Amino acid sequence: AFDFYHHPFWLGLRTLIISLFLGIVGISLHLATANGLRVQAFVKRLVILLGCAILISVVSFILFHKRFIFFGILHFIVLANVLGLLFRRWLWFNLVSGCSLIIVGISVQHSLFNQPFLQWIGLMTHKPFTEDYVPLLPWFGVVLVGMGLGKYLHEKWFIYGQIRSAWGQRQLVWMGRHSLLIYMLHQPILLGGLWMLWK
């Protein structure tokens, strides 16, 4: 019943969860930098994320050996945060570019990207032998769409100045800044709930 690697339900659920999570990462990245980049706080958070990503790689190597996590979701978030700084001022460009990257990431495959040093990009002809894999394509497209939506929401909040919207903005920024905590907690909670329903 719990064939996480092959069953369409679990594969679809994983895709949905990652899409929502990375969309929120994109929204919060824009909201957190819309009024200027706090370099020290940004770098500090990035270093923490990078450290956790490296730790996951080391621990997964000990536990899974050949299936160790070399570019999972935390590795991806580190790279997406850095690249995202180049796109934080645009709305429609991010939406269009994001959708384009998603389409390319899903539809384009080439054996060149099967090389170990290029697997982090995506576009492989087969999924690599790893416990968690979130490549640049198509997932950076999801982050860009989130950033475009973040700019749209920020402009609406700025224009109307609604208290409820301002509260919502703070919550999205908080989720982005604490994405590591949310990621680490959501999986056991979700799987535990699904296990109870399954029983």
Q: What is the pTM of this model?
A: 0.80
Which residues lie across from 133 on neighbouring strands? 71
What is the pLDDT, as a whole number, of residue 94? Answer: 96
Residue 84 pLDDT > 90, yes or no? yes
pLDDT confidence of 36, banded at 50, 70, 90? confident
> pLDDT tens digits for 108-120?
999 999 999 999 9
Question: What integer pLDDT is reported at residue 134 of this predicted model?
Answer: 95
Most confident of 83-92, 136-145, 147-156, 162-171: 136-145
User: Does residue 174 surpass a pLDDT of 80?
Assistant: no
Q: What mean pLDDT value characterizes the chain?
A: 82
Q: Which residue has the higher pLDDT, 149 or 153?
A: 149
User: Residue 169 above 70 pLDDT?
Assistant: no
Q: Where does 76-185 show beta strands of DSSP type E?
A: none
pLDDT at 117: 94
The span from the CA of 69 to the CA of 131, in Å, is 6
Instruction: Quickly state the pLDDT bin for 163 (edges 50, 70, 90).
Output: very low
Whether residue 3 has pLDDT greater than 70: no
Placement of tokens 């935390």 in the chain: 74
Q: Cα(194)–Cα(197) distance, rounded to whole angstroms? A: 5
Query: Cα–Cα distances in Å, from 69 out to 12, 15, 129?
Result: 20, 17, 9
Which residues are CB-neighbours of 151 under 8 A, at least 6 positions away?
30, 34, 88, 89, 90, 91, 94
Predicted local confidence at residue 194, as pLDDT: 47
Kindly give, in sequence order, each residue whose CB lies less than 8 Å from that of residue 90, ignoring residues fewer than 6 positions away. 147, 148, 151
The residues spanned by each domain of the chain are 18-198
